[in-house]
Amino acid sequence: MSDLRRSRIESAIFREVATYMHTLDDPILKEVTITHVEISPDLHFARIYYTLIGNEELRDDATKRLSKALGRIQRDIARRLKDMRKIPIISFQFDISLQEGNKVIDILNSIEKELKEKGE
């Protein structure tokens, strides 16, 4: 399968899941922000990465609620993507890249502050 086709499918799933999350009745799941989607080369599985911007303390609760609603989300996304012959099985994975990026920025800021204090 071509990378272009896989990229298009990832984009379609990303758009639909991101839009769908904001239509849910659950206030915690409405806070979920989809960061990106990765599809297996055989198109059987899609890993959907998410984060809770500004609400990382709700991570465990959101993870439990996502796993509880996974069947319904899978079914509703399949209905929205009826153009596709086969819908991949989705799973959700918390995206730690934003947190790791913030740690790096904090470290760089502290180094910059130390250098300014030393006059360098």
Amino acid at 16: E
DSSP secondary structure letter of residue 85:
S
Write the pLDDT tens digit of every residue in 75-89: 988 888 888 888 899
Instruction: Give the mean model confidence (pLDDT) for residues 14-36.
Output: 89
Burial of 14 (0-12, 13-18, 19+ CB in 10 A): middle
CA gap 91, 3 in Å, rounded: 21
CA gap 100, 56 in Å, rounded: 13
Its domain, for residue 74, covers 3-95
pTM above 0.95, yes or no: no
pLDDT computed for residue 91 by the predictor: 94
Specify the number of domains making up the chain: 1
The CATH number that applies at residue 60 is: 3.30.300.20
pLDDT computed for residue 86 by the predictor: 84
**Strand bridging mode 45-51 / 33-39:** antiparallel
Rg (CA), the chain: 18
